[in-house]
Structures are given as structure tokens and as C-alpha cells.
Structure 1
Amino acid sequence: MLKSAIFSFCFFLIFSNSFSQNQALYYFDNGFEEFTKKYPALQVEGEKGEFIEEVVEKFGKEKRKVYRIPESSGLMFDNSKIKNFISGSYGIEMYFRYDDGSMLLYGQLFGDQLASSQGKYVHLVTTRNAKTKLVNVFVNGKLTMNFPDADDNMDIDNKSQVSFFNQEGTKTTSGAVAMIKLYDYFIDENTASNLFDIFQNDNISPNLNPDGVIKNLYFVQSLPILLPESSPELENVFAFLEQNPKVEIELQGHTDNQGDYNLNMKLSKERAEAVKEYLTKKGIKSSRIKTKGFGSLKPIASNAQEETRQKNRRVELQILKK
């Protein structure tokens, strides 16, 4: 059973060549429940905290629910409840803030940024490759540490419980968490740079390129469900349409060439529709937005490897009328 101190601040991993790519997503909008309802809820360790609402950087301008963690308490993911979810390479990702960076190993992770990051949300990812035993640690989208886990101290098996923030017998800091994700694959540096663009930028641009790929859109894997990280970019699209009331657009969905052609065509259309639904709920007239799905018909990068393939999974905005 894994109860590692390192997991007391959360991590994330991904194996880009894996055939199985499962993800458990926790955003706290529905308490400790998993976003897709496919995985078990997180469990409280120590004193139970409270859910509060606040604006979370990188998740948009509107308040959202986060979990406030008391001192020397935390959350736990029980891998033993899921058959073969994490059984080799894995990843743990978190967006959180800490009140006292002097506790546990934060100093090793954040270095000179320790004091300036205190009280602010930071993005932390750890990845472990089961074959090479290599561990990567990313902070705010950038690789800050990598090392071999020769003694398997960070191995997770089907009997493991993964603790976040809390370490038994050790005083740990209070804080708040807005997102936890778990993956059954490893993330290398090149893959990470594409996956975590939004966390690499110090500031989210208030302006939108009004004709082309809508950047920083994130969906549930293989589903047309937008993730909260998409909110800042969607807010930019909304602002553009609101400020230009005569503009009419077409949202064009695209996929890579993996999987069934017809399912990809359907998914690309539904993802474009998901973006439209967000905009119309904000007040943009439905008649101003057309949608179309192209599936894998119009790649903008090679489909030969995952690094470039993910560029083909996109939604484009085309202006039809100015």
C-alpha cells in the first residue's frame, strides 16, 4: 500500500505510447465525486474541510467550488476499488494552493518560487514510467525535476491508496484544491508541453485570434464534454462575439485518425456543438453559430505519433459574416 510523502502535494504521469489511456477527474463541483462518474469518490483523511467558492486562476473569471483542506488533513484515492486502473505507468496532476510552504517537500519542488507561490494556485504533475522507472515532475507546465525511482518507492499497485496533502505522523499545511486528475499512463516532456499549455503561461491573453484554431480547449477523453480548463479561452470567444454583434461564425470540429471513422465524425461534430452550447448559454444567439464536424478528414499535423496527432484534435472558428 503506497502512502508516500511525495504524494502529499500531488502529481501526474502519462505514457504516450500506451494503448490504454484512462483518466479519473476530480473538480469538486459535485463534492468528492469523479467528473465522469466512472471512478470512485475521493475519501477524506483527517479532519474534514469545507467546500468554498472562489475565482480560480486558469479556470475562468467566474467563481467555482474548491475544497478547503485543514492542517494535517487531506484526501485519498483508493486504487484497490478499481480493477486494473493503475497497474504500471501512471500520472497524478493537481491544481492547488498551500498556506505554509515550509512543510513537507514543497521547498524542493518550488525552490526560489516557494515564497512567491504561497497562497496562490500552482499546477503540479508527477509522472512515473513503469518500464524505465523514470519520474518526471512538472511545475506550472515546466519540467523541474526528474530522477530514477530505482527502489520503487513511488510504485502504485492494485492495493495502493494514494494520499494527497496528508502524511500520517507529520504536520502538513492547510490549503485548497481545485483539481485532481489520475492517469494510467506516463507523460514525457514533449507531450507535457502540449497538454499543459494553459499552465505554462503566466497570463491568459484577453484577446482572441478570431479565425483559426481555438487554443486551450480541453475535453473528456473521447467524449464531447468540456473540462473547466477550457473556460478562459471560451470566455475570450464569448467576448469577441459580444463585442461584434453582427459577426456570424462556424465552429468546425476535427479529430485524429485513430479509431472508427464514423465515430470520429460524430465526435468532431458533437465537440463543436459543445462549444456552441457554452456560448449560447452565455447569451449569444444560436442563429449566429453554425457547427460542422470533419472527423479526421483535415489533419494539420502527422497522425504517425501522439506528439503531433493531438494537434489534429481541435475545434476551429471560421468567420462567415462580419
Structure 2
Amino acid sequence: MNRLLWCLFFLAISQSIYAQRAGIYQFEKNLEEESGQFPALKVLKEAGIFQEDVLPELKNAKRSVYVFEKNYGLQFDNRAANGFLRDSYTIEIYFKFSALDSWKRVIDFKNRKSDNGCYIYDGKLNFYNFALGTRAPVRANEYTHYVISRNGKTKQLKMYVDGESKVEFTDQNDEGVIDEDGVLNFFHDDLIVKEEASAGAVALIKIFDYVVEPTEVKKSYLKLNESVLKKPTVPSVATSPPLANPPPEAKTPAKAADLPPKEPSLVLSGQVQNETTRKPVKQPTVLVLDKNNTEKQRLQGTDDGLFKIAFEVGQDVYFMVEADGFFPTSIHYTAKELTEKSKNGTIFTLKPVTISESIVLKNIRFVQGKPELLPESEEDLNRLWLFMRDNPAAEIELHGHTDNLGDFDLNLALSRQRVESVKAFLVSKGIASQRISGRGFGSTRPIANNNREETRPLNRRVEFVIKKLK
């Protein structure tokens, strides 16, 4: 009987030791964990500020959030938490980034010693360099419910946005596990590759020492108002009470002729900056295009890279931005994004061109196994054409690459044929053929994991190297 009691006692002790726990950070004007059982988050680089912000998924309620500048991140000290975060975990974040124009780091497990980790890339969730998800509802200056979980036994790592699974892969090399430094970094990335962080704001971080099931992840998103808002809040926009006796005409639907006139134009102000130095680009050219790449407006920026353009309300807008000595860039704003940008301004960045530097044309796509260009390639092809047109002395070398599916020699030949397809496009637009040379590398120079279907397309690409500029 005594032995049975001892067994029950030790069983109770073991269950309490391994009970599932969660640390919750609400950012109510401090970086403390709400239960007091876990360490406060540490500031990386410089401290941000606490301010009230509108949380649209919470019925536009206002709440305290932590606002950080680019590369001013936060750190969870797992050593101070006695190794709380192990190889099985779930991390839930409700946050927003100000810029999503390139790779933006969300979570770093290796304390800035590796480029691998969680990013948002071109609206897609990405665990570099192992998995790339489909496009997710992640937009600049809009809050996102973001979750990553890892099962220590199966090593399955999953990433979610707004309750929906977007990435799943087997983390064989423990890239998603905290290393010997014992820290977890958020929003901070400045050692391996520069400019891979964004300013933004965070309203909630939860860290669980277990895997939260997909159904619970979905519930957590659907019940954000319960988990993020701990007390009643006042809507950010006051509404007038309904009239007790509305006039008769208020009950009759308005006819088209009775509708108010169209809203006044929006004015978008901004600056064009050097992507590398973040300094203003002198006298950039900003083109406004329609969805068919037909030019609608063209204006010249100032010596400080400043510009201002007026638009009608309710339209999508496509931009092409150029400047001498830089590679053109293209930007698309939805009508909603344009309205938001008109309030706060925007920044366009241009990549300076450098002799012998390889530039990846990210959106050039081909028919599977063939050299034929797909229609979605037109935007990047036009950018390359504009560069060649505006830099008449420039000479380039195109590099073709494939994934590793199929025969090696056939892939090598295919990469050369794809180079010729891009060259033919440029020649058809008036670029002299002698200014364009090319090489095919087949599958010999991958930039992404060839073992996953999600990342394999990144290896089917065309790059170009500037051989001569002036």
C-alpha cells in the first residue's frame, strides 16, 4: 500500500513538472509577462514606445501596443525562463510591419548567427532556406495573426496566418530550435544580410511549451478580441445615435442621380531612397501605369527624391520607379492601400546597379520544362528593358538556372534556352543583341531547397550581371 502511495505521489509530481504552460505578453505599457512567471522581454538595439493603436480585427478597438523602429527588436531570454522553450512549442504573435517590400524577419532562433528563420517575403510566409508558403493575407501596416509551431518528436514545423496553415515542413536540422545562446529574437536581423527588418507594432506575443492543435490555432484567431482585449474598450470612431423619427426620405433607397458627388482626389506623397544606404535618390522618375502597363502619368522627383501625385479615390495603382544608376522597381497598391498611404506617405526604394553584381529577376516564370515565358513575367522583363533603354552603354550577361528535377544535361540545355528567350524579348523591344550575352548553369547553383515543392520554383530563375555600364 505504501508503495502505491509513493507511486501516486511521484506521478503527481511528474505531471506538475511537465504541465503545459504559456507565457503571455500583452504590451500594456510594459514588456512584462502577465503572470509574472516568465522574464520580461528585452529590448534589442533601442527601445520603442507604447501607444494606442486601432486593432481592426477587434472591431476597431483601441489598445496599447509596442511600436518599434526598423531593426529595434525584442528578445525572449529562454535561459532566464529555465529552458521553458524546448523543441516542442507554439509561438503566437499579433503584429504589423510597416514595410513588406523584401525579406522581413519575424523570428530568429540562432541569435543572428544564421540567416535561417521565420520571414515574410513578398506576402508569403517563409522559413528560410527550407520552405515557402502560398501568398497569405499579410499586408504592410495591417495587423496579422501569426503562429508557428514545432513538434519535437516528428520535427514537423507549421506556420499559420489568420488561423490558416501556410507552411509545413520537416525541420530535420533543428533550424527552428533555440541554440546554445538560449534566446529568441523578434523583428531583428542585422548580421548576415542587411535591410531584412521592418518597423512595426506588436499587440500580443504568446509562447507555449507545447504544440497547439490546428483547430485551436483557428479558434485563437477567431477569438482574438477575447485574448487580446482584457477589458472593455471604446470604438476608435464615435457614431451618432439613430434618429428617433427619421425623415421619410431616409427610408427610401437613394437613386444614382441622388448620390453625392465623387470624393475628392487622394494625394500620395513620398520619397525614393537608395535601397542600400537609405539616402534620397536624386530626381527619380515615377511612372503611373494601368494593369496593362500602359503609362498614365509621369513625373520627376526632386533632388531630395520627393514626389507628390494625385489619384481618384477607389482605384488600384501600378508604379514603375526609375533613376540614373539604379535598377527600376515596380509597385502595386490596391485602392485600400493607396488610401492608407495617402495619409502617412510612402517610401520607394531602388537598388543601385554595380558592375559584376548578380541581380535576380524574381518574377520571370517559364512553362514547366520549357523555355516559353509565362505572361506574369512581363513586369520584370519590362523593368530589365527600361534599364537597358535608359542606360544605352550598358552590357549584361544573362544567367539561366533550373531546379534539379529531370536529366542534368537536359536542364543545362533548358537553362540556356531560357536565357535566349529573355534575350529575344529584349531584342524585340529594340535592344541591340550584341549588348546581351548569356550562360546556362542548369541545376548547379540552387538558391533554395530543391527537396520541397514550395521552395523548388525559386531555383527556376534568370539572373543578370552588368558587365559594362558606361
- TM-score grouping bracket, smaller chain normalisation: 0.5 to 0.7
AA partner of residue 203 (structure 2) = A
Give the superposition deviation at 1:194: 3.0
CA root-mean-square deviation: 2.7
1:43-91 C-alpha deviation (Å, 9 max, x unpaired)? 1101221111122123454421111111122000000001241233111
CA distance in 1, matches of 2:18, 2:221: 21
Shift of 1:149: 0.4
The superposition leaves residues 249-301 of structure 1 with CA deviations (integer Å, 9 ceiling, x where unpaired) of xxxxxxxxxxxxxxxxxxxxxxxxxxxxxxxxxxxxxxxxxxxxxxxxxxxxx
Contact 2:29 2:66 in 1 (8 A): no
- Give the whole-Å Cα distance in 1 for the aligned partners of 2:153 and 2:68: 35
Does the 8 Å CA contact 1:60/1:231 hold for their aligned counterparts? Answer: no
Contact 1:43/1:77 (8 A) holds in 2: yes
Secondary structure of 1:81's aligned partner: coil
Tell me if 1:183 matches 2:208: yes
Q: TM-score, normalised by structure 2?
A: 0.38
Q: Which amino acid aligns with 1:189?
A: P
Instruction: Report the CA distance between 1:100 and its aligned residue.
Output: 1.1
> Does residue 1:197 correspond to 2:222, yes or no?
yes
1:173 maps to what in 2? 198
Task: Say which of 102, 113, 120 aligns to 1:106.
Answer: 120
Q: Work out whether residues 137 and 145 of structure 1, in 8 Å CA contact, stay in contact via their aligned partners in 2.
A: yes
| Offset of residue 41 of structure 1 | 0.6
Identity over the aligned pairs, expressed in percent? 30
Residues of 1 paired with 2:103 and 2:185: CA distance?
Answer: 16
Q: 1:87·1:158 contact (CA, 8 Å) conserved in 2?
A: no
Residue aligning to 1:138: 160
Unaligned runs of 5+ in 1: 1-17, 200-215, 219-226, 236-322
8 Å CA contact retained: 1:80, 1:161: yes
Instruction: Give yes or no for contact 2:146–2:159 (8 Å, CA) kept in 1.
Output: yes
What's 1:12 paired with? none
SS of equivalent to 2:201: strand
1:149, 1:180 → 2: CA distance?
23
Contact 1:87–1:157, Cα closer than 8 Å, also in 2: no
Task: Quickly say closer, same or farther: Cα 1:44–1:146, change in 2 above 3 A.
Answer: same
Does 2:176 align with 1:154?
A: yes
Paired residues, number: 192
Which whole-Å CA distance do the structure 2 matches of 1:84 and 1:160 have between them?
8
- Residue pair 2:134, 2:166 contacting (<8 A) in 1 also: no
Q: Which residue of 2 aligns with 1:35?
A: 34
SS in 1 for 2:79: helix
Correspondence 1:1-322 to 2 at 5 A: 20-101=19-100, 102-104=102-104, 105-107=119-121, 108-109=124-125, 112-113=135-136, 117-156=139-178, 159-169=181-191, 170-171=194-195, 172-198=197-223, 217-218=226-227, 228=229
The 1-side partners of 2:199 and 2:163 are apart by 23
CA distance in 1, matches of 2:215, 2:209: 18
Query: Secondary structure of 1:193's match?
Result: helix
**Counterpart of 1:63 in structure 2: which amino acid?**
K
Distance 1:90-1:48 versus aligned 2 partners, 3 A rule: same
User: Which sections of structure 2, spanning at least 5 residues, go unmatched?
Assistant: 1-16, 105-118, 126-132, 236-470
Instruction: Give the CA deviation at 1:157.
Output: 6.1
Which fold has the larger relative contact order, with Cα–Cα distance below 8 Å and residues 6 or more apart in sequence?
A: 1
Separation (CA, whole Å) in 2 of partners of 1:60 and 1:35: 24
SS at match of 1:119: coil
| Aligned mates of 2:179, 2:21 — CA distance in 1 | 15
Partners of 1:190 and 1:196 lie apart in 2 by 10
Q: Letter of the 2:212 partner, please give it.
A: I
TM-score (norm 1): 0.54
Deviation at 1:161, TM superposition (A): 0.4
Cα–Cα, structure 1 residues 86 and 157, in superposed 2: closer, same or farther, change >3 Å?
farther
* Closer, same or farther: CA 111–54 of 1 in aligned 2, 3 Å: same
1:73–1:66: structure 2 CA closer, same or farther, 3 Å change rule? same
Contact 2:78/2:84, CA 8 A, preserved across alignment: yes
Question: Structure 2 CA distance, aligned partners of 1:228 and 1:111?
Answer: 30
**Residues 75 and 40 of structure 1: CA distance in aligned 2, closer, same or farther (over 3 Å):** same
- Take 1:47 and 1:174, find their aligned partners in 2: how far apart are those partners? 12
Bigger Cα displacement from structure 2, 99-108 vs 123-132 = 99-108
8 Å contact kept, 1:99–1:174: yes
